[in-house]
Amino acid sequence: MGTVMNREEVSGFLDREFPEINHDGPAYSVESVRENEVVIRLNAHDRHLRPGGTVSGPAMMALADLAAYVVILAHIGPVALAVTTNLNINFLKKPAPGDLLGTCRLLKLGKRLAVTECAITSEESDEIVAHATATYSIPPR
C-alpha cells in the first residue's frame, strides 16, 4: 500500500484539524513523506526545553507521537479519529540544543491497528537520542 497523502496534504490536514500544535508559533513541521516513512521536525523553542537547556522528554514524546500519526495518515488518508493506544520511548542520549528530527517508519498497517517506530536525532547529528514505538487504533473506514 502506497502513500495516499503527500507532505502538503498531511501538513494542511494538521493545520486544519490540530491548530493547537503550532498555536504559539511553528513548533512541528512535516519535512518529508515517503513510502512507509515520514520525517517530522521539532522546531525547539524555549517551551520545549528543560533545565540545562536540553529538549525535554515530553517534547520528544510528542514528536514521536505526531510522527507516528503522520506516517499512518499518509497511508490511510485523513482520519482524525485514529488514536494512540501505546507509546513506548527510550531516551538514549541528551540531545544537543536545537531542532530535532523524528524519522518514523510504518512497521505494520492492519485494518484496525498500526505499529510504527521512530528514531529521534538532533538536526546536526545522525546519532539517535531517543527511540520510540507506537501502536495506533484505526477507526472502521
Average pLDDT, the chain: 90
Task: Write the pLDDT tens digit of every residue in 20-64.
Answer: 877 776 889 999 999 999 999 998 766 666 677 788 889 999 999
Let me know if 73 is exposed, middle or buried by CB neighbors in 10 A (0-12, 13-18, 19+): buried
- Residue 1 in any domain: the answer is no
- Residue 15 in any domain: the answer is yes
Task: Write the pLDDT tens digit of every residue in 106-138.
Answer: 999 999 999 999 999 998 888 999 999 999 999
CA distances from 108 to 56, 129, 141 (A): 29, 24, 17
- Residue 90 in any domain: the answer is yes
Residue 11 has pLDDT above 90, yes or no: yes
The CATH number assigned to the domain holding 47 equals 3.10.129.10
What residues make up the domain containing 124? 7-137
